[in-house]
Amino acid sequence: MKNTFELISSGIFTYHTDAKLFFELAKEVTTFAKGDGFSASLISIVFFPIICDPAVFRRPDYISYKRDGSAFIGRNIDFSLWRSARRKTQKELAQNLVSEGIMAIRDHKLPPADKLMLLVYLDMAGRAIGLKHS
């Protein structure tokens, strides 16, 4: 059964971390997917960027699949790189991290064609965010 798709962003952060870009990307991807009537075997991906000072907290990357048809994905991003990056670089880092997470989902949970469509929406979302903040 296919359902309307949603990308949700949460996060695992330590102090002084602005991860608003992940929330903006998730909102835009969901808007594009719903506008197209995109549906997938996964009803949602809950993406957890892990942006933590390693002296305070460490967690490995992970993917877990939930019974409700969602996938929870946690991916690390270098804390010092993120904190020192300008917004344009942060946007690229965020898009790459979400893209890597999407591609890491098992094909039987999210077929390659659906992954490709989500990557198209992610690219569109990145462009939309870039235009909003130019």
List of the chain residues with pLDDT < 70: 1-3, 131-134
pLDDT tens column, 92-131 = 999 999 999 999 999 999 999 999 999 999 999 999 988 6
Contacts for 62 with CB less than 8 Å, ≥ 6 apart: 72, 73, 74
Paired residues of 16 in beta bridges: none
pTM listed for this prediction: 0.89
